[in-house]
Amino acid sequence: MILFFRKEQKLVFAVKIQKPLPDKDIEKLSWLLNNAVLCPEESISGVFTGPRKEMITPWSTNAVEMTQNMGTEGIERIEQFLLSPGDTIHFDPMLQAVYNGLDQQVFTINKTPESIIPIVNIHAYNDKEGLALSPEEIRYLEELSQKLGRPLTDSEIFGFSQVNSEHCRHKIFNGSFIINGIKKDVSLFHLIKETTHKHRNRVISAYKDNCAFLEGPEILLFAPATQDKPDFFILRKIHAILSLKAETHNFPTTVEPFNGAATGTGGEIRDRIAGGRGAFPLAGTAVYMTSYPRLTGGRNWEKSIPARKWLYQSPEQILIKASNGASDFGNKFGQPLICGSVLTFENNNNHPLYAYD
């Protein structure tokens, strides 16, 4: 059963319950939802934008946990839906959907599994889905298809593209480099590590865990005098060690910028907290590299190259949503973003188009 709570006229909360709630719990819910009013109707008319049925939002997970902490039982999901003010509807198709009215089926999913699709033209499928397979990888998959005596499926090719990606396997960093026909003795990753091996400076540990550690200053720690019982807080000097971590989240941030960048921030926080004997987050940075965002106003040089059709999100959407996402996740863990940089680049000067895509 779905209960609808309305906040003013534009915002509606849909609450999925397993059993009827007593009046006391209804009052708690109304208070939790910022004094939203319970609607007596089982459906609400109007055009709304809200989360897709298939994806329970992090907001919903937190809201349901709050109801449990308040002693209210039997609530499965709570989501927010916003009434569209006019004919023009703005929403994120990766995360949201448009609802022509809200009813008891608002969370009901009526989908059957997709059929397995045999892929005859791997090159075309690579372009269509943006899998970033290299010519060598496409050739390998084509030879594998011939060896198996059947076309590879969409799931097999998509899975290969992810498992064999730079994000998972570091195939460029760890790959062999052949320059002017001569195979080099070391990989790019080996060259990167070599500087630390030759000049350690303040490095305590690097490339052994998911973060690095540097010698830090002597600092004053404000903490309980003992940890095994309630005690007074005292100041004491400790030798600090700094943990450093970089996290790339290029493809996730391209597909869904807010959560892609948010989980990038989460990844670096996770790896530093898990490093050594444990750490706590202090501050984060962020670097964004995109093609020209072509914002309204100045920057006339951005208009010298025609805008392209984007498979997922535009550079403007990426820069805005990713910045919000990285800051949002860091703030929730007490790690503010304190600095960063933005680089945008396109060049088409009598050459093929080069850009930060």
In the chain, % of residues over pLDDT 90: 69
- For residue 317, the model assigns a pLDDT of 92
347, 344, 229: which is closest to 293 by C-alpha? 344
- For residue 32, the model assigns a pLDDT of 95
* Token couple for 194: 């070599």
Phi, psi of 239 (to 5 degrees): -90, 110
Low-confidence ranges of the chain (pLDDT < 50): none
**DSSP classification of residue 195:** H
- For residue 213, the model assigns a pLDDT of 93
- For residue 342, the model assigns a pLDDT of 95
- For residue 272, the model assigns a pLDDT of 87
Nearest-5° Cα angle at 34, 33 to 35:
95
- For residue 321, the model assigns a pLDDT of 94
Strand partners, 289: 343
Which CATH architecture fits 251-357? Answer: 2-Layer Sandwich (3.30)
CB-side neighbour CA atoms (13 Å) of 30:
14
**2-7 sheet: strands from edge to edge:** 37-38, 2-7, 11-17, 75-83, 44-51, 96-102
Question: Rounded to whole angstroms, how far apart are CA atoms 13 and 18?
Answer: 16
DSSP secondary structure string for all residues of 127-162: HHHT----HHHHHHHHHHHHHHTSPEEHHHHHHHHH
- For residue 72, the model assigns a pLDDT of 94
